[in-house]
Structure 1
Amino acid sequence: MAYLSNEKLVIVGAGGMIGSNMVQSVLMLGLTPNVCLYDIFEPGLHGVADEIAQCGFPGANITWTTNPEEAFTGAKYIISSGGAPRKEGMTREDLLKGNCKIAAEFGDFIKKYCPDVKHVVVIFNPADVTALTALIHSGLKPNQLTSLAALDSTRLQQALALEFGVQQDKVTGAHTYGGHGEQMAVFASQVKVDGKPLCEMGLSDEKWEDIKHRTVQGGSNIIKLRGRSSFQSPAYNAVKMIEAAMGGEKFTLPAGCYVNHDALGFKNVMMAMPTTIDATGVHFVEPKGTADELASLQKSYEHLCKMRDEIVELGIIPPVAEWKEMNPNL
């Protein structure tokens, strides 16, 4: 079997449902044979390692460990789903304190054991601030670390495809920006349905508000339907992000990235933007939208600033003025 790369990829949280799906997706897509599974829960991790071995992927070199030094040393790519899962009745923001502490430790492991890592994807919630925490602690450059945001855009795409009875890939430009949470900004002005602008499709304001609501609550709905948080869709999107960083197909759905841009007025946050991930890392451009859409993005940014300030108050990350002491690349 031909692989895209031979470099070491670490899946953090590999004993969980998201993690185990990521391992399988990595091997099915042929990204790299050298995959290390890391988790603190040994029985679950052991079980995943056995199951992956029993899939019989040709040439796969699967290792697993509960030792962070063993896992992270030599890693060139990392995807982390290693936080507590969201449960029914919880918002992504409810996970803030505990998961940001996990993210800080994760970033410290990167700085200590694999400072030469090429790209890191963080997908445990609340992804914007866990990724920001990991970036600050890791010492990485901003273009080397991204967070999960594309899932909101694919949920919007799905809702529009169902509304108009078209194949999902016929809906283009359906993107959400800002935070990956209850305050995400849902954009409609760039959407086309089978090549036709959404504004010409006769969608009522009431129906659009319903679609926006379903997009924002997409994760909650999965929990209600399946009794557990999403795992297949975040796993696949995360793997496609790391595939792009490895030099595979570019990833052009919105990704969470570090934004510190005077002209845009967005400072010192991780947030979803119009992005491209490729072998050189993640790059963003200015979002285009109506005045109302840009106003909703501003509100989402302000919400992210509040969450960032909360973890500063908790002592998980230092005040913004001191970030360069921990990470000179910021």
Structure 2
Amino acid sequence: MNYLTNDKLVIVGAGGMIGSNMVQSVLMLGLTPNVCLYDIYEPGVHGVFDEIQQCAFPGANVTYYAPAVEDMGNPEKVAEAAKKAFTGAKYIISSGGAPRKAGMTREDLLKGNCKIAADFGDNIKKYCPDVEHVVVIFNPADVTALTTLIHSGLKPNQLTSLAALDSTRLQQALALEFGVQQDKVTGAHTYGGHGEQMAVFASQVKVDGKPLAEMGLSDERWQEIKHITVQGGSNIIKLRGRSSFQSPAYNAVKMIEAAMGGEKFTLPAGCYADIPELGFKDVMMALPTTIDKSGVHYTVPTGTKEEMADLQKSYEHLCNMRQEVIDLGIIPPINEWNKMNPNLK
């Protein structure tokens, strides 16, 4: 089997449903044979390792690391397993946070998952500072990714967070509304935060080449579609009894594929924003982006007055969450970030 690269890819949280789906997707797409699975729960990641081995992917070199069950509460043993997993990594995807459960918002996960993100960033700095690209997908992804970036010492273009899932949910809703194949809906994007305050843009949407504004969609129905998009994750929990795992896994793997030099990823990704003309800075947020071998690149979003106002509200919400993480002492005040990460000016 021909692989895109032989570089080491670490999947953090590989014992979970998202993580295990990512492992399988990586090998099915032929990204790299050298896949390392890391988790703090040994039975879970051991089970994923066994199942992947039993798939018998040609040429695959799959390894896994986790503290023994009796050592899960031992910081030294956890650090030892992390060191073995992270050392030599060129690419990392992390779904290693607590999952969202029924009745919870992404923001409800803030404190615990940002502590996990801080440890994750520290592990990158200590064990694989030469990593080329990192994708963070555990919620609230914008803030966990920002926390990881600050602690890791990486350059902003080397780290992205999952945001495309909101856009593909909008694309799905519009495709179902008009009875067309989903890939016939283009420009269906959401920007800002990956949460309840996301900004849903309609002005660039085309349905089978025709602008959405010419499709006869009522304002009332558009508001319903926006609601469906924003609550897409909650709906999966209601239907399946657990949070999404197939769609975030696939989108994350396609992001890392692009960073490895494969097909460019052009759906919105969460990235470190510095947009003086909009007054946006020092947050991770979904923007019009392209991920390729050189990292993530973004352009300034454009939209109607209403859309840009929604984006401003989303940015302010992200700033408020950022301040919560600062107040918790998980990240330092903004003017001290460059002491921890010199790449953040």
Q: Is TM more than 0.5 here?
A: yes
Candidates 316, 331, 338, aligned match of 1:324: 338
Partner of 1:242: 256
Q: SS of the counterpart of 1:5?
A: coil
Deviation at 1:267, TM superposition (A): 1.1
Deviation at 1:110, TM superposition (A): 0.1
Deviation at 1:166, TM superposition (A): 0.1
* 2:207 maps to 1:193: yes
| TM-score, scaled to structure 1 | 1.00
Deviations 1:8-55 (A, max 9, x none): 000000000000000000000000000000000000000000000000
CA distance in 1 between counterparts of 2:279 and 2:206 reads 28
Written as runs of structure 1 = structure 2, the 5 A alignment for 1:89-238 is: 89-238=103-252
Contiguous gaps of at least 5 residues in structure 2: 67-80
**Counterpart residue number, 1:69:** 83
1:261 deviation in Å? Answer: 2.3
Of 267, 277, 294, the residue aligned with 2:308 is 294
Residue by residue over 1:117-174, the C-alpha shift from the partner in whole angstroms, topping out at 9 and shown as x without a partner, is 0000000000000000000000000000000000000000000000000000000000
Q: Distance in 1 between matches of 2:123 and 2:227?
A: 38
- Further displaced range: 253-262 or 77-86: 253-262
Which position in structure 1 is the counterpart of 2:75? none
Could you tell me how far apart the structure 1 residues matched to 2:168 and 2:275 are?
26
Q: Does the alignment pair 1:4 with 2:4?
A: yes
SS at match of 1:10: strand
- Residue 270 of structure 1 aligns with which residue? 284
Amino acid at match of 1:296: D
Please name the residue that 2:71 is paired with.
Answer: none
2:203 touches 2:212 (CA, 8 Å); kept in 1?
Answer: yes
- Secondary structure (helix, strand or coil) at the match of 2:266 reads coil
Name the TM-score, length of structure 2 as normaliser.
0.95
| SS of equivalent to 1:203 | coil
Q: CA deviation at 1:262?
A: 1.6
Which position in structure 2 is the counterpart of 1:34?
A: 34
Give me the whole-angstrom Cα distance separating, in 1, the residues matched to 2:313 and 2:142. Answer: 15
Identity of aligned residues (%): 84
Which residue among 77, 93, 104 is the counterpart of 1:79?
93
Q: Give 3-state SS (helix, strand or coil) of 2:146's partner.
A: helix
Q: Is the CA contact (8 Å cut-off) linking 2:142 and 2:270 kept in structure 1?
A: yes
SS at match of 1:263: helix
CA contact (8 A) 2:273 2:283 kept: yes
Deviation at 1:270, TM superposition (A): 0.1
Cα shift at 1:230: 0.1
For residues 261 and 313 of structure 1, the distance between their equivalents in structure 2, rounded to whole angstroms, comes to: 25
Q: What do the CA deviations read for 1:236-289 (whole angstroms, capped 9, x no partner)?
A: 000000000000000000000001222221010000000000000000001010
- Shift of the alpha carbon at 1:322? 0.1
Aligned positions of 1:279-290 closer than 5 A = 279-290=293-304
Task: Tell me the secondary structure at the aligned position of residue 49 of structure 1.
Answer: helix
1:48 aligns with 2:43: no
Give the letter for the 1:194 counterpart.
D
Q: Do the aligned partners of 2:275 and 2:300 also contact (CA within 8 Å) in 1?
A: no
Which one of 320, 328, 334 corresponds to residue 306 of structure 1? 320
SS of the aligned residue for 2:99 comes to: coil
> Displaced runs of 4+ in structure 1, greater than 4 A?
none
SS at match of 2:173: helix
SS of structure 2 residue aligned to 1:64? strand
Residue in 2 that maps onto 1:57: 57
Offset from partner CA, 1:90-123 (integer Å, 9 cap, x none): 0000000000000000000000000000000000
Q: Secondary structure at the match of 1:243?
A: helix
Residue type matched to 1:133 in 2?
A: T
Aligned mates of 1:3, 1:197 — CA distance in 2: 39
Residue-pair matches, total: 330
Unaligned regions of 5+ residues in structure 1, if any?
A: none
**Aligned-pair Cα RMSD in Å:** 0.3
Q: Which amino acid aligns with 1:40?
A: I
Secondary structure of the 2:64 match is strand
Any idea what SS the aligned residue of 1:221 has? helix
Hey, what's the Cα distance between the residues in 1 that align with 2:57 and 2:38? Answer: 19
2:78 is matched with: none
The one-letter amino acid paired with 1:292 is: E
Q: Deviations over 1:195-236 (max 9, x none)?
A: 000000000001000000000000000000000000000000
